[in-house]
Structure 1
């Protein structure tokens, strides 16, 4: 957000007991408690008039620091000493570039610490974004161990809530599960003990793969009340969220890295500042609506780029195809076949630089093409062939790593790499660059400017296949978690600089699939790899759930048809990608004509609907997909509700299924089966309330377009 506030004003420095803030889609009420702390008493959508309990509200900011501990909190991130002392001093508000903003200034007299809670919300969306800026206005240094990004108390009691969280593992991303919040936060009879429970449901992400283990997000749904809350922590490194019980209600706390979980600490000398990673919270009447609001918010915070509306078809030679072994002889026929199938970008994946008989894994870093792999005309001849066939050339790159056998490992200064206790870190035969160091950044700038500027490459797949935990401790880093967060922010700043210099470049974010599927990185990169999953039967639950984490137009889903597949399996692997960013692969050059025709038909369908995908909001008629579900369904709802798309997968069970589509219920609609091309019209029938589909074989897939005729 940039620009000058067009409606800014500063409220009186005299303390007010209560004030409101928000816009047409979101309302917030704040109150000053008896101890002087400011609390967010109520956050709701218009029309939600349920009463709020001020006693259940939390201080606007909680933090811990050496010498300033916690109160009655246990593993919870509430009840800190600072939280009870940071008194409301003043606040200001305004509107800037379509965003409402509110900055609240809090001050602790004991230490001199000033905290600025910076709240923003895009007009028209029920989403709150929050971060906290700390400034040490005291006379002594302060070592901060944790600080909240967003806190919300006064939620319904745990008995009324279900919590949703997503396992996110290599080859098994976006696996959501649901359980009652009470299963983690036991009812201890707080009235008898005159204290809140110490229990909390705590989830964390660690290391340089921020979404390894879990997505950096979660959700709550009210079982009977018709409300849902979905959140994300926008950290490119460590994060934490916790849910607990307070004053007969529930609370939510969002944090970046902490000392306890991530070995993160920062020292603030007098006058120094630190700003947390943002946290975002979306509200809705149900889970689908809240997920939709978060999708719109993600579109609002990301870096503008033509790719977000053009959605070109990408062919990548890796998955189930060349698998890191590209050569001129292998690539040229693939390039021709990909162009014939309708691809618009062709990305040469890993291995193009490999000229080492001992293998490239621990020798990467110079990023020069292999003469052995490209003997006639070098890699330029291959890139030229891609352009001659009307496609934009792309290359795979793993910029942050340098192999231990690479000459770059000796050429760059030791301070340009991750280190602990003065020892350069090594992980799987690689060193990790620290992008805060100018030599590391200069090395990568030179590399990318050569590949993009000199070679004319228009697409970079930026991968990252090692994980460093807890981080690095360069001179000036108080703890390795702080070094890791500093590098992660420097990496995103470097990537933004690359895109500033090369505005037409398209960047795909990949970390062994979806191990960096975080909101901070998604706000900079144009595409996000959703998985490395090579089994076409196991990809659908990932593809169906991916829009929980990434807008559909950014979520790259592999479609790797093979000449050895029967027609149904070819249609299956293609159909699973049509409501995301289709990433073609497979030995298309070895296919029979009728097989290649199936690929062309699917690509043409994708091109006919991609303009809608860039605006559509996801929903899940069968609920969030389970890893072993026999039926899976993903819907995309185009604004205005005239057009709705449904992808339906059958892996088992009865051949017929009735799918509720609530926003169209009670109206007339036309159902058109767009994929596969051999499907019959009667395989998808709208009856005025729901869509009945029939998929006779397994595995089977349908892409259906519902057009409202109201």
Structure 2
């Protein structure tokens, strides 16, 4: 079955009495037939259950899984829904049914894969692994050696250092073509409730010979796994949610039960990396909950970063609110600390305002924010409860994650279990009080612990308990947005520790990072559009009290092609520097309509923390906005930036921020040369002429 949809070419082998094969998936039609001896390993889905033979010399690789190899093709459904074309491919083995859901999106070269396992039998199956996306043949149409024709992009992630992609040859990662297959795999996994604690749940393989990329994103806030290795002389990639081997996951599928794998969306594109990101950006916008926040892109002031740092009071907040309103901010969020008289880390959970901090009540501050023309917000961390919270000793133990009969404690907090209806009701009550009694329109929802493998309480395994909890939490979020459709909830997990699209399909804005160094912020900001749509990516701008004009400008440029998360003691930075903040926010308000539909680009490649010069752009129609940073070095130094899409005539380039400060740049055909002093940044507008196909 050959399918061509939205620039994706997909070929399924559908033969009665045999397992279904995924024979081809790329941005180009299949040109080479697969030999009869090899076709059996081109599995559409890998499914491993306890007690079944894994019929492959595999080592730790998830190949040769069974009962997926025992499945036989039954039929398929082919229809259209609101997104586009939808395929459902049905296979069966005895009373076990495997349904592969393949969702296309009109006008977007990205496909969402989910595998559903249904037990129609009278026996129980112990599921150890269910892939979401399994593609064999990454090197099938290339003539060169499979370890020499590929580049693998791996998105490293950490607190203060989000979205730091590195690209490797397969040899650099220890993989060599030693025979027709090897035991070596390149595997990236996450175990725990911080889905992005070490890596984003993404990856990209670029075939240098074919000039084609395949990029995947796994959509879960919990455990996940992907691997690249070989079988029968070609490379494969598998991606999905938790596994028994890597993540302590086991699902006991009882009669009449069904199980869905974690969604995985895959884009295929010509060229290296950037077009694949463009397709994922379009996809993220298509599947996201419709909301005004991502249409209007309001400017948010948050009092935390390089400012109050968790110590708010009515007295210190009022001058900050005045300065935020004067600068042009439209939302004001009171961050952590509002619920406690002093040290609060291990006592959170009741979410009642401190009378000592707010003698006139938190409502006085909320009213003051509204009187200044801004929407008020508060910080919450609803998924946890401190071990010294008075409420913790009053509620049942089954409110909390448990392992081996004991509550899990991480960083002096319990993890609340959202499978428990009492927990969900408690969380809903807190939201109801903040919105209906306090008048809050914005919630910064933080999450600062990692549960590890999960909870085994009322679960088939700790990994299954974690997955069920994450799905229950998402269901709770859906209920909150149904009740309060205009409420903005910011997705924050110590910055970007859960920067992924099971959350961001619901929440309109992502706190990308907690990085406090504005220079290091540039590399994070420049790369964050790989992980989320630019209009969802909140980047801090926090001018320092003892800073300079260039420092203030650098801070603003960090945020101006994303969502401005303004902070800092604006009333103490002086009038000239405050003017640069006002100018930056005013400029942002003029261009934000282009940000919400802009496609990210990296004219000089993805950024690294060690780069002296960094560039990042957004293209929308005939316009491109380009941020250029110089992070260090000595003296004036020039930086050449290619301008793709120009027909050869000189581009029309202007520095739109700051407008009146001297900026040295020249344009020569398809090249923009910018000269910046160390630790300075500029924002440019470039008039583009797009070639056909670009």
> What's the TM-score once normalised by structure 2's chain length?
0.95
Q: Determine the structure 2 residue equivalent to 1:61.
A: 45
Alpha carbons 1:151, 1:252 under 8 Å: kept: yes
Residue matched to 2:305: 319
For residue 122 of structure 2, what is the aligned residue in structure 1?
A: 139
Name the structure 1 match of 2:238.
253
Give secondary structure in 2 for the equivalent of 1:329.
helix
Q: Deviations over 1:129-170 (max 9, x none)?
A: 100000112221111011100111111133210000011111
Offset, 1:591: 2.3
Query: 184, 187, 191: which is aligned to 1:206?
Result: 191
2:143 matched residue in structure 1: none
CA distance in structure 2 between the partners assigned to 1:380 and 1:52 by the alignment: 69
Select between 409-418 and 209-218 the one with higher mean Cα deviation: 409-418
* Aligned twin of 1:175: 164
1: CA distance, partners of 2:42 / 2:15:
10
Quick one: which of 451, 455, 464 aligns to 1:472?
455
The alpha-carbon distance between structure 1 residues 36 and 496, as it changes in their structure 2 partners (threshold 3 A), is same
Cα distance, 1:526 vs structure 2: 0.7
**Corresponding residue for 1:594?**
576
Q: In the TM superposition, what is the alpha-carbon distance from 1:49 to its structure 2 partner?
A: 5.5
Residue correspondence of structure 1 range 389-468 to structure 2 within 5 A: 389-468=372-451
The partner residue of 2:597 within 615, 629, 642 is: 615
Correspondence for 1:337 among 317, 323, 327: 323
Give the deviation of 1:510 after TM superposition. 0.5
Aligned counterparts, 1:556-571, within 5 A: 556-571=538-553
The DSSP-based 3-state class of the residue aligned with 1:448 is: helix
Q: Which residue in the other structure is 1:385 paired with?
A: 368
- The answer as to 2:644 corresponding to 1:655 is no
What does 1:222-301 correspond to in 2, within 5 Å?
A: 222-286=207-271, 287-301=273-287
Paired with 2:384 and 2:176, the residues of 1 have a C-alpha distance of 48
2:535 is aligned, of 536, 553, 561, to 553
2:17 pairs with 1:28? no
The answer to whether the 8 Å contact 2:124/2:255 transfers is: yes
Separation in structure 2 between the aligned mates of residue 396 and residue 52 of structure 1, nearest angstrom: 57
Whether contact under 8 Å (1:158, 1:245) holds in the other structure is no
Distance 1:665 1:169 in 2: 41
Query: Cα distance, 1:43 vs. partner?
Result: 1.6
Alignment of 1:58-97 (within 5 A): 58-70=42-54, 71-97=56-82
CA contact (8 A) 1:22 1:100 kept: no
Q: How many Å apart are 1:519 and its aligned residue?
A: 1.7
Aligned: 1:671 with 2:691: no
Deviation at 1:381, TM superposition (A): 0.7
Is the CA contact (8 Å cut-off) linking 2:20 and 2:73 kept in structure 1? Answer: yes
Decide which of 12, 22, 32 is 1:51's aligned counterpart: 32
- Cα shift at 1:314: 0.2
The Cα shift of 1:667 comes to 4.3
Tell me if 1:364 matches 2:344. no
Q: Structure 1 residues 52 and 288 mapped into 2: Cα distance closer, same or farther (>3 Å)? A: farther
Which of 137, 140, 153 does residue 164 from structure 1 map onto? 153
Deviations 1:66-115 (A, max 9, x none): 10142222111211122321111110111111321100001113xx2110
Q: Distance in 2 between matches of 1:186 and 1:351?
A: 49
Rounded to whole Å, the distance in 2 between the matches of 1:125 and 1:550 is 16
In structure 2, distance between residues paired with 1:211 and 1:400 = 17
Matches of 2:631 and 2:166, distance apart in 1: 20
CA apart distance, 1:189: 4.1
Determine whether 1:579 maps to 2:579. Answer: no
Alpha-carbon deviation of 1:672?
1.2
How many angstroms apart in 1 are the aligned matches of 2:133 and 2:209? 26
Report deviation, 1:325: 0.0
* SS class of match (2:611): coil
Partners of 1:260 and 1:189 in 2: CA distance: 25
CA contact (8 A) 2:665 2:674 kept: yes
Cα offsets for 1:499-543 (capped at 9, x unmatched): 111111111100111101122111111111111000111111100
- 3-state SS of 1:656 partner: strand
* 8 A Cα contact 1:42 1:52, kept in partner: no
Residue aligning to 1:698: 678
1:217 to 198, 202, 206: 202
Contact conserved, 2:301 with 2:329, CA < 8 A, in 1? yes
User: Residue 664 of structure 1: SS of its match in structure 2?
Assistant: coil
Match of 2:519 among 537, 545, 560: 537
Change in Cα spacing, 1:212 to 1:676, as seen in structure 2 (3 Å) is same
Post-superposition CA distance 1:202-238 (Å, at most 9, x none): 0001101011001100111122322111111111110
Q: Which runs of 5+ in 1 are unaligned?
A: 1-18
In structure 2, how many angstroms separate the alpha carbons of the residues matched to 1:65 and 1:437? 28
Write the distance in 1 (CA, Å) between the matches of 2:209 and 2:258.
Answer: 44
Looking at structure 1, the residues matched to 540 and 278 of structure 2 have their Cα atoms a distance apart, in angstroms, of 23
* CA–CA separation in structure 1 for the residues paired with 2:509 and 2:29: 36
Partner of 2:466: 484
Q: Deviations over 1:638-688 (max 9, x none)?
A: 1x3x0011111112356111111222352443111011233346x333322
Does residue 685 of structure 1 match 2:669?
no
CA distance in 2: counterparts of 1:533 and 1:319, whole angstroms: 9
Q: Is the 8 A contact 2:547 2:573 kept in 1?
A: no
Assess if the C-alpha contact under 8 Å between 1:35 and 1:84 holds in 2.
no
Alpha-carbon distance in structure 1 between the residues aligned to 2:526 and 2:318: 33
| Shift in alpha-carbon separation, 1:181–1:464, aligned structure 2, 3 A | same
> In angstroms, what is the RMSD of aligned CA positions?
1.6
Does the C-alpha gap of structure 1 residues 189 and 34 become closer, same or farther in structure 2, counting only changes over 3 Å? Answer: farther
2:290 is aligned, of 291, 304, 319, to 304
8 Å Cα contact 1:676-1:701 kept in structure 2: no
| 2-structure distance, mates of 1:624, 1:89 | 45
Q: Secondary structure of the equivalent of 1:190?
A: coil
SS at match of 1:537: helix
Q: Is the 8 A contact 1:167 1:173 kept in 2?
A: yes
Is this contact kept in 2: 1:158–1:185, CA < 8 A?
A: no
Inter-partner Cα distance in structure 1 for 2:409 and 2:684: 50
Shift of 1:34: 9.3
Question: Displacement, 1:244?
Answer: 0.8
Instruction: Identify which range, 199-208 or 312-321, moves more after superposition.
Output: 199-208
- Give the CA deviation at 1:562: 2.1
In structure 2, do the counterparts of structure 1 residues 311 and 52 end up closer, same or farther at CA, with 3 Å as the change threshold?
farther
Q: 2:493 maps to which residue?
A: 511
Question: Is 1:119–2:112 an aligned residue pair?
Answer: no
Corresponding residue for residue 504 of structure 2? 522
